[in-house]
């Protein structure tokens, strides 16, 4: 596994939110940063801020759903700067606006394709290169929502649960090859994504606070980073309760769509 602080780092979803904060948290002299995102203006702004902190920065204007384009860019970056840390952070949210709303196939597929397959499109090519070197670390951003599904965001919860299950599944396999695996389960972080969430946002952290915590835990080799602690504990506790009781608690927290059903 990577020893010492990583120097060649790729972050997907780096143009805003936690991804941007993580880029700035890692940017320093001697670090080569690969920043992947879809918004050219915000990605350039993030790159400039990281460059001002001394980092060498290469941007990839990519949609993580495009497996071939992501692999090509990652392989090119890795050939110049062998990646010792990948943070697969890109993701989209989806919440039901009310009881009459529903996530159909197209909407569900968009969320799953971005949050799960988009992560795989970044992780798998990098793992191939790390296995040859027998070192490195993969960090995948799931969500505290991966711990228990919520009626207000079915596709999002399912996609993040898949990310966590994948990370937990391959961790022991990758460990044999000298590669660390970290799954990140953020709670509510003050970002554009959380701004549109209609339910109660308890124990909100800033993006900078979250990034500092994530970096500290990754540097310490943590297998799982779930925060804030009280919210993570509460979500784990819900899984031990009878479903009808857990559903009622989530309803009290406004984590179920409101209003009357369209039917």
Write out the catalytic residue numbers. 156
Distance (Å, whole) CA 254 – CA 245: 14
Distance (Å, whole) CA 90 – CA 80: 23
At residue 201, φ and ψ (nearest 5 deg) are -110, 85
Cβ atoms of 191 and 58 closer than 8 Å:
no
Distance (Å, whole) CA 238 – CA 249: 8
Distance (Å, whole) CA 113 – CA 218: 26
Distance (Å, whole) CA 263 – CA 254: 21
Distance (Å, whole) CA 187 – CA 255: 14
Closest C-alpha among 89, 94, 87, 130 to residue 109: 94
Q: 241 Cβ partners below 8 Å, 6+ apart?
A: 249
At residue 6, φ and ψ (nearest 5 deg) are -65, 145
Q: What is the token pair recorded at 64?
A: 């993580």
SS3 183: strand
Q: What is the token pair recorded at 128?
A: 């191939």
């Amino acid at each position: 596994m990577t020893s010492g602080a990583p120097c060649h780092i790729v972050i997907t979803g780096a143009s805003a939110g936690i991804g941007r904060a993580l880029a700035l948290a890692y940017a320093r002299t001697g670090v080569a940063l690969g920043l992947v995102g879809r918004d050219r203006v915000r990605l350039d702004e993030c790159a400039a801020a990281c460059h001002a902190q001394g980092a060498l920065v290469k941007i990839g204007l990519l949609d993580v759903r495009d497996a071939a384009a992501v692999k090509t860019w990652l392989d090119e970056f890795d050939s110049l700067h062998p990646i010792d840390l990948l943070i697969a952070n890109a993701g989209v949210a989806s919440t039901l606006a009310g009881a009459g709303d529903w996530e159909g196939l197209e909407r569900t597929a968009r969320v799953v394709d971005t949050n799960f397959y988009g992560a795989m499109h970044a992780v798998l090519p990098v793992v191939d290169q790390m296995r040859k070197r027998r070192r490195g670390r993969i960090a995948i951003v799931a969500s505290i929502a991966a711990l228990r599904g919520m009626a207000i965001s079915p596709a999002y919860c399912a996609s993040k649960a898949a990310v966590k299950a994948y990370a937990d599944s391959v961790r022991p396999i990758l460990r044999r090859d000298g590669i660390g695996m970290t799954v990140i389960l953020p709670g509510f972080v003050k970002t554009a994504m959380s701004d549109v969430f209609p339910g109660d946002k308890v124990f909100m952290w800033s993006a900078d606070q979250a990034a500092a915590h994530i970096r500290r835990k990754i540097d310490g080799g943590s297998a799982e980073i779930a925060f804030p602690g009280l919210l993570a504990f509460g979500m784990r506790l819900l899984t031990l309760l009878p479903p009808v009781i857990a559903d009622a608690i989530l309803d009290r927290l406004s984590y179920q769509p409101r209003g009357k059903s369209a039917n």
